[in-house]
Amino acid sequence: MSETVMMKKEGGVAILTLNRPQVYNAFNTELNRDLTRYMNEVGKDPEVRVVLLTGAGNAFCSGQDLNDRTDPNIDKLSLGDSVRSRYNPMVEAITGLDKPVIAAVNGVAAGAGCSLALACDLRIISDKAKFVEAFVRIGLIPDSGSSWFLPRLVGFGRAMELVLSGRDVEAEEAVQIGLANKVVPHDQLMSQAMAWAQQLAQGPTKAMGLMKRSLYRAVDVDLNEALEVEAQLQEIAGKTADFQEGIRAFKEKRHPRYQGK
């Protein structure tokens, strides 16, 4: 098992925990690689119907580890190449996963760690959590998807303010402006996150994956194309066993027993 990411499965949920608590789960090359690998693995695992992502210790993820010296080429590192090879595949693995991904944000999510949380489909956060688009603090631009996710979640004007200021967004404000879905007491975070994840895992998760694909397509196309995408994906959903079970349950006036198939 990887040292930088821990995984366990429980009731159809894969729990992935970033595990560099001594540096607030900051990214190094290994963590980027391991998280991408795990996301790809759970995507192929039929037992996994929902992914829950969190951080060990007191932080979710503090972004790039600026003290990391494990890369032998660090002194001549191309930041553009680093983003392309380390961060972009990680974000694409999350967004391309045909299963819901929930971020349980237990502390600070800063820089690329903030981007990581935003790349997840849903965010449940501790009342001790905070989001920081910290790139401006070191003279860089938002990467790892922040420039795409942030304005779509909070609006263009608010997004511009957050990236230019690099200020802390505390938990209550994060929910108010749309960065997070819900805030809970810190000591209840994982229990409530798991309850939410297991509730989703009992649903028609094939259809949920198609919903995710549909929404990502719809934000970048015109109405006519969005309507066609819906029709294509509905054709796929209509051939699933979950759809048949949903119809049977409706006719039999009982709760459906979805299998994610």
pTM of this prediction? 0.92
pLDDT value for 161:
98
Annotated domain spans of the chain: 5-201, 205-252
Q: In angstroms, rounded to a whole number, what is the distance separating the alpha carbons of residues 195 and 214? A: 25
CATH no., domain 5-201: 3.90.226.10
pLDDT value for 76: 64
The terminus-to-terminus CA distance of the chain in angstroms comes to 28
Of the candidates 111, 109, 166, the one whose C-alpha atom is nearest the C-alpha of residue 136 is 166
Across-strand partners of 27? 64
Separation between Cα atoms, residue 3 and residue 257, nearest integer Å? 37
Fold classification of 205-252 is: Lyase 2-enoyl-coa Hydratase; Chain  A, domain 2 (1.10.12)
At residue 54, the 3 state secondary structure works out as strand
List, in order, residues 6 or more apart from 103 with CB less than 8 Å away: 53, 54, 60, 109, 116, 117, 120, 122, 123, 124
DSSP string, 168-224: EEEHHHHHHHTS-SEEE-GGGHHHHHHHHHHHHHTS-HHHHHHHHHHHHHHTTS-HH
Whether residue 108 contacts residue 166, with contact meaning beta carbons closer than 8 Å, is answered with: no
Give the pLDDT of the chain (261 residues) as one tens digit per residue. Answer: 459 999 999 999 999 999 999 999 999 999 999 999 999 999 999 999 999 999 999 999 999 988 875 555 555 678 888 889 899 999 999 999 999 999 999 999 999 999 999 999 999 999 999 999 999 999 999 999 999 999 999 999 999 999 999 999 999 999 999 999 999 999 999 999 999 999 999 999 999 999 999 999 998 899 999 999 999 999 999 999 999 999 999 999 999 999 888
Q: 146 near 118, Cβ under 8 Å?
A: yes
> How much is the pLDDT for 190?
97
Phi, psi torsion values for 92, nearest 5 degrees: -65, -35
